Amino acid sequence: MSEQQGTPDQLPAEKGQGGAGATYKLTIYEFENFRGRKAEFSGECKSAWEKTQKIGSIIVESGPWVGYERPGYAGEQFVLEKGEYPLWSSWTNWQNSFMLCSFRPLKVDSAEHKLHLFENAGFEGRKMEIFDDDVPSLWVYSFQDRVASVKAVNGTWVGYSYPGYRGRQYVFEHGDYKHWNDWGAAAPLIQSVRRVRDMQWHKRGCFIAPSPAPPNPNPNPNPKPKPNPTPAPNPKSQTQPQT
């Protein structure tokens, strides 16, 4: 399809979304790198297929949002914070899914963040409390990967099935989650969690993964051995005296 000309389609925001005074704007594009038909949204979208059969790139001007793999807010979840997403791999690192068919604004109730994780369903078993911090690995804090129930006391959070904010994503808005099915998981597996930021309270407005340490710009592929100024004599190579 050719790029759509004129004013893009826009869906108004619904009441009750986000915090007080929160505004949302998200633009989807048919192809990668912000090409092709586009549509703008400021509220819920149960099926993006009404606008385009494919979403290749996204720009979030204000948010945050959560996208879903299937229409009707079903399937895998993808958190979309303020920024540009030129390729599908920029909003997920989970190779099993690249579809995005529905999305909605995330509810952000306060600038503070507080999360309680429980080992068993119904808020039983071992408990871990997280205050205003991101946790790239629960094991580092001596908490196992089994998370069967969650209480999101303040703020909005996203959990990941693997350490380092990798794998499937699970959104935790303010509220109680007595069972892992409540956040759309098939098993009680979470190994890292982080806060979802919002421009209303956080100027940065989005999460940026820490970049790995840069490689040595001048590596020496063939290091020369340092000579030994005083080598030890080899008794086998010494000249034997003549008789």
Sequential pLDDT tens for the chain (243 residues): 333 333 334 443 333 344 445 689 999 999 999 999 999 999 999 999 888 888 999 999 988 999 999 999 999 999 999 999 998 888 876 655 568 899 999 988 778 899 999 999 999 999 999 999 999 999 988 888 899 999 999 999 999 999 999 999 999 999 999 999 999 999 999 999 999 976 444 444 444 444 445 555 565 555 555 555 455 554 443 334 343
**Residue 123 domain-assigned?**
yes
Could you say which of 44, 79, 105 is where a domain stops? 105
pTM of the predicted model as reported, rounded to 2 decimal places: 0.72
Tell me the three state secondary structure of residue 55: coil
Residue 95's domain is classified under what CATH number? 2.60.20.10
What are φ and ψ of residue 70, in 5° steps?
A: -125, 160
CA angle 63, 92, 187 (to 5 degrees): 105
Domain that holds residue 33: 9-105
CA neighbours within 13 Å on the CB side: how many for 150?
27
Structure tokens at 192: 């890292």
**Residue 118 domain-assigned?**
yes
What are φ and ψ of residue 235, in 5° steps?
A: -65, -25
**Residue 145 domain-assigned?**
yes
